[in-house]
Amino acid sequence: MRIKIIGLTLAGIGILAAVGMAFTGFGLEKPSTHVNRAGSSHELVVYKSSTCGCCALWTSYMQNKGYKVEVINTEEMDAVKEKYQVPGSLYSCHTTVVNDGQYFVEGHIPEEAISKLLEEEPAISGIGMPGMPSASPGMPGKKLAPFDISQVTEDGQTSQYMSI
């Protein structure tokens, strides 16, 4: 009987380890350093309400992807969005500022879009996805539609950036 219990325990540990590796990329990948063309690390500053749990989850998601993230809790989110000229049509619950104002990233944007933005360094003000779409990073639920991400030009015009 003792061997069966040990066998089950070891099997359970093996299953848990396999599941854990599936979620961590098998533990072999190092987080990327995310450097810009000048060789400096990109810095992300997330402005969010101190009571917003989904914003904290999105921040953790980005940190787990290897980004250096600073969090500033504020109750003045409208002032932050106005300062960085985020169009009202893109408002979400948090605003991220990249490289001391090089770009804004509005909302629960998947890392894939941010990586593209930082790699290509286009001449835009930022990217955004309005609201809090189900299953977007930091949000629970099932993905109900593609994540349509908009770009904002320096003169405030919006257009499709990408769809994930």
Assess whether pLDDT exceeds 90 at residue 114.
yes
pLDDT band at 35 (very low <50, low <70, confident <90, very high): low
pTM, full prediction: 0.77
Give the pLDDT confidence score for residue 85 in this predicted structure.
97
Q: Are 128 and 48 in contact (CB under 8 A)?
A: no
Domain ranges of the chain: 1-30, 31-163
Which residue's structure tokens are 């069966």?
A: 4
Query: Could you give the percent of the chain with pLDDT greater than 70?
Result: 76
Using the CB atoms, write b or e for 65-102: b if 16+ within 10 Å: bebebebeeeeebeebbeebebbeebbbbbbbbbbeee
Give the pLDDT confidence score for residue 70 in this predicted structure.
96
What is the pLDDT of the chain when averaged over all its residues? Answer: 82
**Which CATH number fits the domain 31-163, given the four candidates 3.40.50.720, 3.40.50.300, 3.40.30.10, 3.40.50.10490?**
3.40.30.10
Give the pLDDT confidence score for residue 104 in this predicted structure.
98
pLDDT band at 10 (very low <50, low <70, confident <90, very high): very low
The mean pLDDT value for 49-65 works out to: 93
